[in-house]
């Protein structure tokens, strides 16, 4: 079983082109390499998956059950309305961290609500790419706590 999967939602494949004043100039490829790198810093094996499809996002969560110990999720706009994704995440037994590159609370009012947060262990917003490093560190600590409790 691998340690963590980074699940990235809609429009994150447009990083580098999409609103660089908000999201910066990093690309999806840059973000994917960064996620794998920061996971390795915390001795975590990792995979990265991005899709613009809600159905594929849900299927990736289902496939993560029994294959990964933790999920770091940036559901993009699905964050604000996808109860189906929230339900799928609720089924996942391990730690779940929600990450957003931008400060969603400093943006449009419709972005202020997350249906994912109630099923996540925590949420990290507005730190840009650094949020994924914070999430990897948190996953490492949460998994260590789980392992310690199992002994």
* Model confidence pLDDT, tens digit, residues 8-63: 999 999 988 887 777 778 899 999 999 999 999 999 999 999 999 999 999 999 99
Judge: domain 2-150, CATH 3.40.50.9100.
Answer: yes
Catalytic center residues: 23, 100
Query: pLDDT digit string (tens) for 90-107?
Result: 999 999 999 998 888 777
**Contacts of residue 101, Cβ cutoff 8 Å, sequence gap at least 6:** 22, 23, 24, 74, 126, 127, 128, 129, 131
Domain boundaries in the chain?
A: 2-150
Tell me the whole-structure pTM to 2 decimals.
Answer: 0.93
CA–CA distance from 113 to each of 14, 30, 85, 147 (Å)? Answer: 23, 28, 14, 33
């Amino acid at each position: 079983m691998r340690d963590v999967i980074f699940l990235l939602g809609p429009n994150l494949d447009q990083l580098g082109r999409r609103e660089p004043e908000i999201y910066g100039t990093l690309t999806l490829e840059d973000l994917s390499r960064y996620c794998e790198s920061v996971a390795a810093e915390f001795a975590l094996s990792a995979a990265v998956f991005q899709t613009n499809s809600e159905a594929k996002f849900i299927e990736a969560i289902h496939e993560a059950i029994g294959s990964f110990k933790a999920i770091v999720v940036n559901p993009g706009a699905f964050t604000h309305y996808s109860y189906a994704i929230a339900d799928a995440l609720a089924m996942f037994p391990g730690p779940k961290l929600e990450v957003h590159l931008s400060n969603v609370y400093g943006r449009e009012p419709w972005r202020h609500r997350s249906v994912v947060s109630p099923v996540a262990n925590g949420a990290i917003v507005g730190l840009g790419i650094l949020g994924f490093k914070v999430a990897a560190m948190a996953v490492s600590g949460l998994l260590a706590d789980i392992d310690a409790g199992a002994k």
